[in-house]
Each structure stands twice: as C-alpha cells, then as structure tokens.
Amino acid sequence: MQTKVEISDQVMNFVRSLAPEPRRSLRLGLRDLEGERGDIKQLEGDLAGWCRLRVKNYRVVFRYEVVEGRRTARCVFAERRELVYELFAEAMKGLLEP
C-alpha cells in the first residue's frame, strides 16, 4: 500500500519559488515519498519524531502519521540545507510556547 503524501502551503510555495531544475527534482522527490523511497532520515534531539527528505541541497521536513487508517507523510517545511533545521526548530518552538 502506498503512503499518502500531504504537502503544506509552505512546502508548495517554496517548491514553486525555485528555478525549473531544482523544482523538478523536489517534485520527483516528494512523489517518491509515496513509495517511501528517497534519502529519508529520522531526525534527533529537539526534532525527534520528524524525518527529513534530502533532495540535492534541499530538505523537506515531514512526519509519518496515520490519517483515516492510511499511512500519511505530512510534509510541513522545506528550505535549503543550511537553513532548514534552524528555521523549522524556531517555527516549532513558536507554536509550542504559550
């Protein structure tokens, strides 16, 4: 059974902002998540419970969930490698603080 891939507005907007070649690569990488293929790694530390998909110099942060009985990869954040983890951790911190 294939994994359903849900893509947030932030990820869609980021992919759309890229030049044609990186945009194509990221779209293919996201499509490969349906078969749980690609360079996928579990994150550690403050980001435990999240995974990352590596596509060239870009990273997509996502988490596996079960939605309506179906395994889903919920892609929530994408950015260049050198920025992604700091920006994502900062965004998550803002959501969790009262």
Higher pLDDT, 88 or 5: 5
How many domains, the chain? 1
Backbone angles phi, psi at 76, to 5 degrees: -115, -20
Count the Cβ atoms, other than its own, within 10 Å of residue 4: 15
Give the residue carrying structure tokens 């403050």: 46
Higher pLDDT, 45 or 61: 61
CATH code, domain with 18: 3.30.2310.20
Dihedral sign of CA atoms 91, 18, 30, 82 in order = negative
Q: Mean pLDDT over residues 5-19, rounded?
A: 95
Task: Note down the domain range covering 51.
Answer: 4-96
Dihedral sign of CA atoms 58, 60, 61, 64 in order = negative
Structural contact between residues 79 and 22, judged by C-beta atoms closer than 8 angstroms: no
pLDDT for residue 15 is more than 80: yes
User: What pLDDT, in 10s, does the model give residues 48-97?
Assistant: 899 999 999 999 999 999 988 899 999 999 998 887 877 777 777 755 44
Under 8 Å CB-to-CB from 41, ≥6 apart: which residues? 51, 52, 54
Query: What pLDDT score does 94 carry?
Result: 57
